[in-house]
Structure 1
Amino acid sequence: MSGYMGAFLKVNLSEKSIKKEPLKRDLTEKFIGGKGFAAKILFDEVKANIDPLSPENLLLFMTGPLTGTKCPSTRIAIVTKSPLTNAFNDSYVGGFIGPELKFAGYDGLIIKGRGENPVLLYIKDEDVDILNAGNLWGKNNFETERHIKKIYGKDHRVACIGRAGEKLVKYASINTEYYRQAGRGGVGAVMGSKNLKAIVIKGSNKVEVDNPELLDKSSKKVLERLRSSEWSKTLTKTGTATSVPFSSSNSLLPTRNFQSGTFEEAEKISGEHAKENLWDKNEACFNCPIACGHIGRVRSGEFSGSEVGGPEYETCAMLGSNCGLSDLNALAHINMLCDDLGLDTISTGNVIAFAMECYERGILSTHDLDGIDAKWGDPTAMIALITKIAEREGIGNLLAEGVKRASKAIGGGSEKFAMHVKGLEMPGWGVRGAPSMGLHYATCTSGASHERAWMIGYDLGFTNAPDGRKLERYSIADKADVVKYVQDLNSMRDSLVLCDFVFSAIDTSLCLQLLNAVTGFNLSEEEYTRTGERIWNLTKCFNLREGLDKKDDSLPSRLFDEPLPAGEAKGRKIDRKEFELALSNYYGVRGWDENGVPTKEKLIELGIDFNL
């Protein structure tokens, strides 16, 4: 099959078994790769209601048909049942590990079970082994990767966990290439629950494509668009953090636990400021001309010498403004600390801001916080909390559970400002100034993820609806069809598996041309978008089977009850009645019933062959 290596690598750590499983053509045609493959495998092979941290859960590393080809910037999907949400969870990371897995001869890696002791999974083409990793257990990410590359060589690609993953922090990340993370939903905790410290990959194969000439032509078009795109040029120069002032000026920047959408010192944590004071060089993913990654070092002050990849926009928002922190050097050091320990910077910033607000309101005392004076913007307090979270020490043991569980345990009204959807902490884009982003967060099957559908451009008027109509910024009920459209389209992006930034520079017809050139499927545009819809519906079915329902398709109370206190969207909040109407409209355009359950007719239409 062109575009595919024709096999999955299945590893059971409990049984110490390794086998190569043929890739079925029907799976490729109906689910494409990446997220699509993972959704089908997770639904078929993970029993309902299992503990996500049990050996029975699967940890999936899935590539797509474009991975490892001339098409620029392909990633890897890391998918599991989340310990944070008990729902479908897909997290993505760039770098080189996705292409390397394909070069080793595999379209995906399926991991089950639990090692009796800490283990390392070594993959070099057909040579696959489960090795003892006792000497690595207890080390953090940077030291782990350095140690592995010293032994196996710098040309080997590594995915590993730090102390947070070992300690099963429910929002632990998986690290690769030192500065790249699959962060969301606790994928690192699932890896830690399997006693799997690291995966090491080296491949020597090539990806065969159906139409090399068409792929060359299509890839050149992609490169031309990327090189002419002003956004791509901006990413190269000042990275995603360039959006911090923009977000603040539009009342979208989470500030002090989402109490506000504007941060008075946004410029101090911007990409422009980082470019002048922090960054030394750019870093690119496999075959990508953008090089949006930035590597730097703190040059002065208390944190001098700290090396960091980033900080990216989400880190600036969640560990910066959301915690009231405007010191870029401190932010860079904290970013480095989270990456090394293996903590998702989005969830970590959300959790710390929650603790700070509890402290501000007198719900938590200094005694409750193990002596930490958790004032807004205090890097010393943040570092202390992060260290305790990663080690699950004292208050860190509770905060390691995420804001949903922590707020239930703490009480005192803190549930009203626990900023999560389905248990997944909200990212760095507020919604009172962009309501359709709120509808997406509420309906997203993985919880509050900005990457599954970034709706900001539609709300701010940069992008019209697919039918050409102009959308009013603060409306929500009339945007249900647009939210569905973007979610389905991005499901295809995440199945190909394409980088967000490459995807944003090209259109559906060019994506389809790339897919058909690589695979020879000759899908029509209608079949392409219908496949994305099929994949989204399957993840919804997984969640319904796990017990999630309509009540989980909602937003934190703060967003309904508290208007923004300042900025361009001052006085704005999400209207509950309009939100309920928007949710009803969304279920309608999806072909689901009034409770958000896909109808039998919709499942048949999509070729999903089971009943709920």
Structure 2
Amino acid sequence: MIREEFRVLLVDASNGRGKIVLLDGRNEVAGGSGLAALLYNKYGQPELDWDDPSQPLIFAIGPLTGYFPLMSKTVFAFKSGYHNEYTESHAGGRLALSLRFSDLDGLVIRGCADRQSCLSISAHSLELQDVEFMAGMDSESTGRLIRRMHKKGSGHRSILRIGPAGEAGLAMACVNVDTFRHFGRMGGGAALGAKNIKAIIIHGDSDFTIPAGKAYPRLYKDVYARVTATDMMRKYHNLGTPANLEKLNAISSLPWENLRKTSDSAIAGITGKVFADEALLKNGACSGCPVGCIHVGFIREKMARDNRYHFHQVSYDYEPIFALGTMLGVVKPFDILRILDEMEKSCLDAMSGGVALAWAAEATEKGFISRKETLVDLRFGDGKGFREAARYLGRGGNEFYRLLGQGTLKAAAVYGGEEFGCVLGQEMAGYATGELFFAAQTLGFRHSHLDTGAYGYDQKVSEKDVGKAVDFLINDEPARVFLTSMVACLFARSVYKEDLLAECLESVGFSTLAGQVGETAEHIRRLRWQVRAKTGFKPENFSIPKRFYNIRTWKGQVDADYLDSLKNEYGRRIVELM
């Protein structure tokens, strides 16, 4: 029997107590992104700072989670330490299925624990454990100890944890989800750290009912065939997203050395094929996904304590290779993986961390900072130096790194060099495709390349029509928002069109929602922007550094007037929505 109400667990981290509440709104907000906005409207404190104990941390899944392939993501919503506004981060792993197997649509955490704590949630119990002995512990060691403490249910269990970056309150701190996935951007790790939550375990130790009759299993087989028979398997499973490196480099859209150039022949050393041939250990998948896009590489280290070699597994994809490879001028796969391993241990977002270190390297070259601040020599191409710097950055090693960990432009405001900080709302994603992407990421809801299809638009459209380009952004957003309310992996957006989503919802019993997908998508889109506006969002608060005006793409030199017009018009249209 499908339950129309949302079943949400409210947890008070100050005393470890919780209660279940049932909330209406399924047909208005669906779940995921929509449910998160609904919950922040109800429990959030928009006028208070991001780290106030009363601010909620919200985890939400969708109505199709567990029922169909690639409905495998979870939305994590919170007020971000990066800009003190409402935001979202999305992650895969086992978490979504674990919440479904715990009979939860959402989890809301308020209050603050007295000491470092681990929150353990099962279908029938809730426990807040004192883990003060884990304070300062890296992600790898924390995960190992948590698994020893909670040995049962490893198949369904999901483990979230933070590292030193989250404990230090760095705005680049991420949350590790089941080792190989992350709530990566906008400082989710700091949000957990502010509540003294070192780890969360969702045991997923219950079950849920599959719809009766022939319609659901028939549709499931059809959807499964679509996602495995299309090019998704080839594109995302084989080489995976690192295949994009060569393609973007070929069209002068790949950031190199802090975006001083957009193409380089050195790409030959770090293509997706090179990574697969030299460093790929295995593929993995999120629960409920048959594609298997997780690429797990390895590094081998000789340990001083026993003089023996140890292997580390490190998951990689396009974004960390851009941020810790081309952006830093590092062109050896194992050098990149070693830098990434340091960021994984401290739970620092690899994209933000890499872009920040690229700024630091150029700032060093130009004399804005020196070894006094960086503690190591930083030079483009020096993998060893960047690895040491990553360790300092992830742990807030000195005043400079603590400031840099709050955001590149915050450090640049003190030391100089704002004009070459590669920040579009947050440290840029790896697509130097042109004006529409730069404007869209600057003002996008999550400051994410997946907020819109702008990077694809830039690669296909050469004309400079502001109205047409912004219409594309506005018209593209509702369908993406509805997918993140399901919560689907956006890799599946070519399969899960509106008609199929309606059919899927109908098959599991959400008939009303199935009949109003378009209207609900638009409502969720507006609701999210309205919630963010309450926390202070204004388009004029976000600027585009000069570096983005000084590059060339396949279309030629970036057009400054066109870029400014796009940003202004997109901002105006967002305000209209709000």
TM-score for both structures, normalised by structure 2: 0.93
1:582 equivalent to 2:571? Answer: no
- Equivalent residue for 1:532? 521
- Equivalent residue letter for 1:346: M
Alpha-carbon separation, structure 2, partners of 1:417 and 1:292? 33
TM-superposition CA deviations, 1:356-378 (whole Å, max 9, x none): 111111111222323x2110121
Map Cα deviations across residues 553-589 of structure 1 (whole Å, 9 max, x no partner). Answer: 54332223x132xx634x421432x33443455467x
Q: In the TM superposition, what whole-angstrom CA distance separates every residue of 1:422-447 from its partner, at most 9, and x where no partner exists?
A: 3x211111142xx3222321331222
Cα distance change of structure 1 residues 547 and 72 upon mapping to structure 2, 3 Å threshold: closer
- Gapped runs of 5+ residues in structure 2? none
Q: Equivalents in 2 of 1:417, 1:285: separation in Å?
A: 37
Verify the 8 A CA contact 1:306 1:336 in the aligned structure 2.
no
* Equivalence for 1:92: 90
Within a 5 Å distance, the mapping from 1:375-524 to structure 2 comes to: 375-394=379-398, 395-411=400-416, 414-422=417-425, 424-432=426-434, 435-447=435-447, 449-461=448-460, 471-472=461-462, 475-523=465-513
d(CA) in 1 for partners of 2:41, 2:463? 37
Kept after mapping to 1: 8 A contact 2:64/2:487: yes
Query: Are residues 374 and 335 of structure 1, via their aligned partners in 2, closer, same or farther at CA, if it must alter by over 3 Å?
Result: same
> How many angstroms apart in 2 are the aligned matches of 1:587 and 1:148?
45
Q: How many angstroms apart in 2 are the aligned matches of 1:163 and 1:298?
A: 22
State whether residues 441 and 555 of structure 1, in contact with CA within 8 Å, keep that contact through their aligned partners in structure 2.
Answer: no
Per-residue deviation, 1:35: 1.0
- 2 CA distance for matches of 1:451 and 1:129? 36
Structure-2 separation of matches of 1:151 and 1:537: 43
**Residues 110, 318 of structure 1: CA spacing in aligned structure 2 closer, same or farther, 3 A cutoff?**
same
| Counterpart pick for 1:78 among 70, 76, 79 | 76
Q: CA RMSD in A?
A: 2.4
Change (3 A) 1:301 1:54: same
Tell me, in whole angstroms, the C-alpha distance in 1 between the residues paired with 2:535 and 2:546. 24
Are the equivalent residues in 2 in contact too, given 1:459–1:473 (CA < 8 A)?
A: no
Displacement of 1:476 in angstroms is: 4.5
The 8 Å contact of residues 269 and 332 in structure 2, kept in 1 or not, is answered as yes
Query: How many pairs are equivalent?
Result: 570
Deviations 1:183-238 (A, max 9, x none): 01000111011000111121233334667643323332222222222243132111
Per the alignment, residue 467 of structure 1 pairs with: none
Structure 1 vs Structure 2: percent identity of aligned residues? 24
Mapped to 2, the partners of 1:246 and 1:50 lie a distance apart of: 45
2:112 corresponding residue in structure 1 = 114
Matched, 1:360 2:365: yes
Matched residue SS, 1:185:
coil
CA contact (8 A) 1:297 1:304 kept: no
Listed one character per residue, the Cα deviations across residues 139-171 of structure 1 (whole Å, up to 9, x for unaligned) are 211221222222222333211111111111111
Alpha-carbon contact 2:50-2:85 (below 8 Å) kept: no
Which of 546, 549, 556 is residue 557 of structure 1 equivalent to?
Answer: 546
How does 1:175-186 map onto structure 2 within 5 Å? Answer: 175-186=176-187
CA offsets 1:372-412 (integer angstroms, 9 cap, x no match): 2110121222122211122212221121111121111212x
Cα deviation for residue 22 of structure 1 reads: 1.2
- Structure 1, residues 492-521: CA drift from partner, whole Å, max 9, x if none? 111100011122334222122222323423
Q: Does 1:313 align with 2:314?
A: no
TM-score normalised to structure 1 length: 0.88
Deviates more, 1:503-512 or 1:345-354: 503-512
SS in 1 for 2:69: coil
Inter-CA distance 231–157: structure 2 relative to 1 (3 Å threshold): closer
Match of 2:145 in 1: 147
Query: Partner letter of residue 423 of structure 2?
Result: H
Matches within 5 A, 1:164-313: 164-208=165-209, 213-298=214-299, 305-313=310-318
| 1:43 matched residue in structure 2 | 41
- CA–CA separation in structure 2 for the residues paired with 1:362 and 1:198: 41
Q: Structure 2 CA distance, aligned partners of 1:143 and 1:504?
A: 39
Whether the 8 Å CA contact 2:82–2:187 is kept in 1: the answer is yes
The range that moved more, 118-127 or 211-220, is 211-220
In structure 2, distance between residues paired with 1:273 and 1:86: 40
Using the alignment, how far apart are the partners of 2:214 and 2:389 within structure 1?
A: 54
Q: Which residue of 2 aligns with 1:605?
A: none
Q: Is the 8 A contact 1:121 1:131 kept in 2?
A: yes
User: Following the alignment from structure 2 to structure 1, what is the Cα–Cα distance between the partners of residues 571 and 511?
Assistant: 31
Q: 1:524 to 1:439 in 2, by over 3 A?
A: farther
Q: Distance in 1 between matches of 2:544 and 2:519?
A: 28
Any gaps of 5 or more consecutive residues in structure 1? 462-470, 600-612
In structure 2, the CA distance between the partners of 1:71 and 1:399, relative to structure 1 (3 Å rule), is same
* 1:238 alignment partner AA: L
Counterpart AA for 1:390: G
Contact 1:211 1:520 in 2 (8 A): no
Give distance in 2, aligned partners of 1:4 and 1:149. Answer: 35
Query: Aligned residue for 1:62?
Result: 60
> Structure 1 residues 556, 207: CA separation in 2 closer, same or farther (over 3 Å shift)?
farther
Q: Name the CA distance, whole Å, in 2 between partners of 1:200 and 1:300.
A: 30
Give the superposition deviation at 1:42.
Answer: 1.5
Distance in structure 2 (CA, Å) of the matches to 1:492 and 1:34? 9
Q: Aligned partners of 2:96, 2:261: CA distance in 1, in Å?
A: 38
Q: Describe the SS at the equivalent of 1:184.
A: coil
Three-state SS of the structure 1 residue aligned to 2:500 is helix
